[in-house]
């Protein structure tokens, strides 16, 4: 009995210490990718994605918004391949867009998506083809590298919103559903946040 009376306070102290340690030790960081679309862009509909968070292994914070588009909007788009480029939508463009869903990436998946940006950028194969290599195809490959199930239905490959929502359905239970206009999505954070900073876009 005497031992029991001595042992219980010791256990309480140990438990309190463990809770204190958990409070000061930061949780593992992670990068989240969020998939977006704008159905009524100034030129044509657009699909893109954004990063937030920090890799588990540490290093610079992951941020930025990325899409893929033609270098120039001309009739040549209708006849074959043209020059393409990585698109960095402005916050004002994002504000008119819709966030559909997000998924947490492993460091390897994050690196794979970052590689995609380089592969489709100016130092890689940056040709744009409205039927075979447009912004929806870019997002499809980003989703694939994020570990998601991707079905490239030909009827949806020029429909950013419909395609992105098809990804959401195909990966139910594996993604965090958002389905909010940008302003409502950013307002849901505490404190509220603004659209991820980005370089100019022609839209």
Alpha-helix runs per DSSP H in 1-106: 2-24, 91-94
pLDDT of residue 23: 34
Q: What are the strands, taking DSSP E only, across 3-105?
A: 31-38, 46-53, 64-70, 82-87, 98-105
pTM: 0.80
SS (H, E, C) 155-176: HHCCCHHHHHHHHHHHCCCCCE
Which residues partner with 87 through β-bridges? 67
Residues of the chain scoring pLDDT < 70: 1-29, 40-44, 190-203
Of 38, 61, 60, the C-alpha closest to 49 is 38
Query: How far apart are the C-alpha atoms of 34 and 104, rounded to whole Å?
Result: 9
H or E element, residue 177: strand 176-181
pLDDT of residue 194: 59
pLDDT of residue 40: 67
Cα–Cα distances (Å) from 130 to 71, 72, 83, 139, 193, in that order, read 12, 12, 11, 14, 34
Residue carrying the six token digits 């206009």:
181
pLDDT of residue 192: 58
pLDDT of residue 78: 87
H or E element, residue 143: helix 135-145
pLDDT of residue 41: 53
pLDDT of residue 2: 47
The encoded tokens of residue 165 equal: 């929502």
Which residues partner with 53 through β-bridges? 31
């Amino acid at each position: 009995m005497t031992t029991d009376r001595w042992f219980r306070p010791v256990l309480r102290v140990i438990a309190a210490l463990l809770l204190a340690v958990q409070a000061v030790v930061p949780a593992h960081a992670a990068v989240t990718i969020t998939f977006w679309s704008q159905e009524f862009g100034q030129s044509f509909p657009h699909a893109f994605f954004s990063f937030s968070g920090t890799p588990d292994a540490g290093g610079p914070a992951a941020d930025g918004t990325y899409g893929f588009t033609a270098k120039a909007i001309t009739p040549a788009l209708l006849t074959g391949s043209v020059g393409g480029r990585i698109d960095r939508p402005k916050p004002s463009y994002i504000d008119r867009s819709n966030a559909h869903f997000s998924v947490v990436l492993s460091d390897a998946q994050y690196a794979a998506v970052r590689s995609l940006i380089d592969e489709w950028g100016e130092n890689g194969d940056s040709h744009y083809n409205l039927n075979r290599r447009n912004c929806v195809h870019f997002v499809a490959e980003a989703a694939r590298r994020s570990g998601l199930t991707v079905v490239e239905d030909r009827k949806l490959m020029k429909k950013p919103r419909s395609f992105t929502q098809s990804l959401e359905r195909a990966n139910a239970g594996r993604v965090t559903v958002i389905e909010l206009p940008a302003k409502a999505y950013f307002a849901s954070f505490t404190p509220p946040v603004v659209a991820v900073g980005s370089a100019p876009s022609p839209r």
